[in-house]
Amino acid sequence: MLTQVRLVVPNFGSSAFGVQRSGGSRMRPKTENQKPKTSRGLPIEHPLRAFIIAFFLLLSAFPVFSQITGAKITIQRSKIRVEEVLKEITLQSGIQFSYNPESIPTQQEISFHVRKASLEETLGELASIIPVDYTIIEDQIVLNRREGPVGMVQEEPEYFTVSGFVNSLSSGESLIGATAFARGTPIGTTTNAFGFYSLRLPKGNYTMEYSYLGFTTEIAKIELIKDVKKDMGLRAVPLELPDVIVETPVSDMLDKRQMGRLELKPADLDNMPEFGGESGLIRGLQAFPGIKSHSDGSAFFFVRGGGKDQNMVIIDDAPIYNPAHLFGFYSMVIPDFTKDIKIYKSDIPVNLGGRLSSIIDVRTKDGNLNKMEFRGAFNPLLYQFSLEGPVVKGKSSFFTSFRRSNFEWLYKKNVPNLNLNFGDFSFKWNFRADNKNRFFFTLINGRDDLANTGSLSSDRAGVFWNNFATTIRWNHLFSPKIFSNTTLYAGNYQYKLSSTEDIWHSGIGNLSLKSDFTVYNSQNITTKFGGELQAFAFNPGKVLTGSLSSLFPAIRQDYSRQAALYYSTDLSFSRWQFSAGARLSGWANLGPAEYYTFDENHEVEDTITAGEEVYQSYWNIAPRSSLEFHIDSGSSLKLSYGVYYQYIHLISNSASPFTSFEVWLPSSPNIKPQRAHQAALGYVRYFPKQGLGFSSEVYYKKMNNQIDYPPHAQTLLNPLIEGELRFGEMRSYGLELLLKKAPGRLNGWIAYTYSRALRQTKAVNGGREYPAFQDRPHDFSLMLNYRLTKRILFSAYWTAYTGSAFSAPTRFYTFNHNTVPVYDEKNNARLPDYNRLDVALKFILNRKPENTYQHSLTFSLYNALGHKNIVAVNFNKILDDNGSPIVRANAIGEQGLVATQADLVRFFPSLTYKLKISKP
């Protein structure tokens, strides 16, 4: 059996990383009277300085590695095994060997004598004694058995490329992040977002190994005497069986684990306890470190201290501006339609932009190329259907799903005029034209309706919102080393509030064209570049119809465009990986338009009328880089730094989880683009015997041009809305810890985050820094799946975090018989800490997992402990029968305000039946 043996480079010494060796001078402890030393500009305890120190410590280690590879080697042994020779060379030079122990006579005893020899001379001596050739690949030595006279050494091999797609054998779905590895060499790679891989290898015969979590490992032998195209299909493992554990090589897991990036699979969402028949994206995100949800019943979430508008969910590249139904209890992203989810919190790739804090990149299923499959889910509150199958078997397929709420039976009898429902429709089509061209089409439409309806259509009053997104995509292979993806996509979000005759309407939409190129230059150099053009339309909100429409001022609509060019290079050399790139973006506001300028007191200074020309533009370049060091085969250290810009802004001065009265505005003469600098340092360690993976990250983020609001700011139906805005800065920092258990009978993860998010705006809170709403220092979550039997799965999810900051009055006074609150510091109080436990039991009803008819029954409890999680605190007057205010705690004493709390869901059971029917 072919295997890979890798000799680990020895420890370079603590001094390479700036650690004091024993025996030297000791650091004296600081007394209370001593002041900490500082450098000019930044105090030593400043978080940014800590990152700078770590960066230079990493750089200081690199020359040490370069020097030891050129070290002189001395081995004087009359009787030594070949295996011991290789270990001794590794100890003295730091170089690594990869070889097949069945081909190399590692146990053969030889006489080996070299003195102060270079690495090349040492290897030449070894090749003259045993039949072995050596090749230097990525600063590593690959040994191969030589057929022929001893002493011949291959020094400059001819290189060729093996490339192709890795797919699921049963469905034909491309597998994102699958591993392609050449046995007996250190060379391997992972497939891109479309299942494509490319490997450059020296001429010769190879055994290729293909693997993916949840699938069997497949082997293929190739003769590489020219460029070879090799597609591979992998068989799915029936994970329903408790004794099946899919093992992933440690080096594979390490290569896939990118700092600041999380990966979710549909099974991760599907196994989480449900709420009302579904476990969606928003609740799935909050289970991981660095991501905080707004509260129960809200679609908003915060990433590493950023604002709620600084995150973007994209489905096949098209943006979803409101990714939730029913104020956040349900998600537009359902597991059945999802193939892969990547969450970027830092080190965001240059081809993705437009937000400061995170990009949630969702890739959808292509549809089964080989057979028809029907899925259904039935819950008292929700039903869902999906169908997928081939249009032309093996060449073209489709996937479609439909979902609708079923709340009517709860309220129609008592409130017949109430209309409360949501629904969505999804469709995907893919077509493999030939080996070099593939086409995809995606369409998603979702709507929510909450209204009271009368006998006449004009009596309707309520809210309605709609999300629409579509994508047309073309994949093209120019050569085995050049892959391209061109996408035309659109996104649209509309919100309407109706009150009898009047309708208030706001919205945002975009149309974009994007083209990405990936060039696999060599085995250790990959280049990515591309460009993007976008057009935006903004409706900040206006009254469309009704008697009141003439009473409100006219609100102008804005039109803008954005262009971006980006480039990045990934380099790998020995145990180091370096990535550097930049994104150049330009923003332009388009006329005709009329806008205002404001003085220092935020009063209108002038009115400017722009013609058809561009009346405002911004150009910015955002560099991004990362440096990763593989400490050994199971651990790595990574440092990253990036600059990010955001040109569209969500205007909302409400902290309510239910409000959708948000207004999207573009950057303009009065609103500068938001900017963020983020530095992060991370450590990853895998424990293969225990099946555990541990990661820790620290980060520091500085944000400029952050929008804030003075008291009582008017943001709706206000043509002078830009004069209501105040601009300041924000900083956030934190520590994120994640311990994850690999798939098996027991799996899951534990996550903890310590973080701070602090705002400072000159015109708010007296210019003093204050905690943001999303400032929650402590956040803990635990997710566990345990398979009790072959057909019974128990799941539990527990989360607890510090309550959100809000402003509470510090005292009251009476004026004209009215009680008036007095506020001091902004966000000076906190809601009670949040605590929730969800549990679920899943029963697999079919006895054999390979049956064409599969079905299951899931019982879930949301907030099983019934904890009262507060979402809002209000200070309300309580009146007696005569209309006089009283205080509930003391009806006789001084009249005042009473604090009342509101919570949403204390205990919610759910029962869901799911089925899957496959036609062979």
Give 349-378 pLDDT, tens digit per residue.
999 999 999 999 999 999 999 999 999 999
**Residue 562 backbone dihedrals phi, psi, to 5 degrees:** -135, 140
pLDDT digits (tens, 9 = 90+) for 399-418: 999 999 998 888 888 888 88
Q: What is the β-pairing status of strands 461-479 and 437-452?
A: antiparallel
Structure tokens at 272: 């989480």
DSSP summary character for residue 335 = G
pLDDT band at 538; cut points 50, 70, 90: very high
The sheet that has 96-99: what strands, in order across it? 5-6, 96-99, 140-145, 132-137
Q: Give the CA count within 13 Å in the CB-facing half-sphere of 628.
A: 24
| C-alpha distance from residue 752 to each of 229, 755, 782, 869 (Å) | 45, 10, 9, 20
14: pLDDT confidence band, cut at 50, 70 and 90?
A: very low
Residue 592: cis peptide before it, omega within 30 degrees of 0: yes
Looking from the CA of 519 toward its CB, the CA atoms found within 13 Å total: 9
Q: Residue 107 — pLDDT band, cuts 50, 70, 90? A: confident
Report the pLDDT averaged over residues 226-250: 66
* pLDDT at residue 22 greater than cutoff 50: no
pLDDT band of residue 840 (cuts 50, 70, 90) is very high
Of 127-131, 232-236, 455-459, the range with the lowest mean pLDDT is: 455-459
**530: amino acid identity, one letter:** G
Nearest to 50 by CA among 61, 34, 39: 39
Q: What is the pLDDT of residues 483-525, one digit of tens each?
A: 999 999 999 999 888 776 677 888 999 999 999 999 998 878 9
Residues 34-52: pLDDT tens digits?
434 434 444 434 545 544 4
Q: Say if residue 662's pLDDT is above 90.
A: no
Per residue in 629-641, pLDDT tens? 988 778 899 999 9
Highest-pLDDT range among 214-218, 298-302, 390-394: 390-394
Residue-level pLDDT at 155 = 52
Residue 278 has pLDDT above 90, yes or no: no
Q: What is the CA radius of gyration of the chain?
A: 31
882-904 average pLDDT score: 53
The SS3 assignment for 16 reads: helix
Give the pLDDT score at 727.
95
Query: For residue 703, which amino acid is it?
Result: M
Torsion (CA) 166, 244, 917, 399 in degrees, nearest 10: -30
Beta bridge partners of 731: 702, 758
Please report the pLDDT score of residue 545 as a whole number: 65
Whole-number pLDDT of residue 417: 84
- Measure the CA–CA gap between 630 and 171, rounded to whole angstroms: 36
Q: pLDDT over 90 for what percent of the chain?
A: 45
> CA 495, CA 661: separation in Å to the nearest integer?
8
| pLDDT (tens digit per residue) in 808-819 | 888 878 888 777
- Look up residue 380 and give its amino acid: P
pLDDT of residue 148: 57
Helices 82-93, 119-129: inter-axial angle, 10-degree rounding: 180
Asked if 208 contacts 29 with a C-beta cutoff of 8 angstroms, the reply is no
Q: How confident is the model at residue 18 (pLDDT cuts 50, 70, 90)?
A: very low
Edge-first strand listing for the sheet containing 204-211: 188-190, 179-182, 204-211, 218-224
Mean pLDDT across the stretch 256-269?
75
Q: Rounded to 10 degrees, what is the CA torsion of 604, 608, 613, 617?
A: -30
Mean pLDDT of 71-100: 82
User: Binning pLDDT at 50, 70 and 90, where does residue 655 land?
Assistant: low
Q: Is 565 exposed, middle or buried (0-12, 13-18, 19+ CB in 10 A)?
A: middle
- pLDDT at position 878 is 54
- What integer best gives the mean pLDDT of the chain? 82
- Amino acid identity of residue 406, one-letter, is N
pLDDT in tens, 619-630: 999 999 999 998
Question: What tokens appear for 656 in the block?
Answer: 């309510």
Instruction: At 255, give phi and psi (nearest 5°).
Output: -65, -35
In the DSSP assignment, the letter for residue 592 is: S
Which single residue is written with the structure tokens 């050494």?
153
Task: Answer yes or no: is pLDDT of 833 > 90.
Answer: yes
Q: Is residue 596 within 8 Å of 621, Cβ to Cβ?
A: no
- CA dist 575 and 61 (Å) reads 12
Catalogue the E-assigned strands of 172-227: 179-182, 188-190, 196-202, 204-211, 218-224
Q: Is the pLDDT of residue 135 over 80?
A: no
Residue partners of 658: CB distance under 8 A and separation at least 6: 297, 298, 327
Query: In 3-state terms, what secondary structure has residue 351?
Result: coil
- For residue 463, what are the β-bridge partners? 450, 497
